[in-house]
Structure 1
């Protein structure tokens, strides 16, 4: 059983088709070990990660709000206005980035 193929799925298949079976399998296992090491490091340094990313209830709420707005904008752009995929996704991403910029730059000073 190939663990890298099970966990990585289509990414592993991409590695194999681009690099060959042996090198693709090696790159797949290196990717899997890298992901495990990254998760291990994040769990070991979770306090530094939380403070560095400024994960607070308000920040997480803003992320959820912006994600929902992005999904709604994509659905409206692709469904109602019949934009192609690239046009709809680029409009949604640029609109969400602009909203994020407005939220971070126009909010008041914390008291």
Structure 2
């Protein structure tokens, strides 16, 4: 899984580069990984209406999220079927990686398998 983070500074820098070129990189990555069969899913995420849920003393506490003190927020993700080296290579192509962390993680096998 490739997790894309960002903040206001990231978005401003990407806008200065030209969002169409940023979107072109994502479109190319999607096309390549669809054609190779590596793409499972990809989505951008919004912070609009986001919530944070924590249970305290058996009672759910719901606040607006994401946490305002966070330096970066999760902005989107790709889920690929490939090894970590390939996912790292794909993540490094993203324009966002110039300005904010792009995290690569392996998935844990489901407990029922």
Please report the TM-score for the alignment, with normalisation by the length of structure 2: 0.28
Higher relative helix content: 1
Name the structure, 1 or 2, with higher relative contact order (CA <8 Å, separation 6+): 2
Is the radius of gyration larger for structure 1 or structure 2? 1
Higher relative strand content: 2
Please report the TM-score for the alignment, with normalisation by the length of structure 1: 0.28
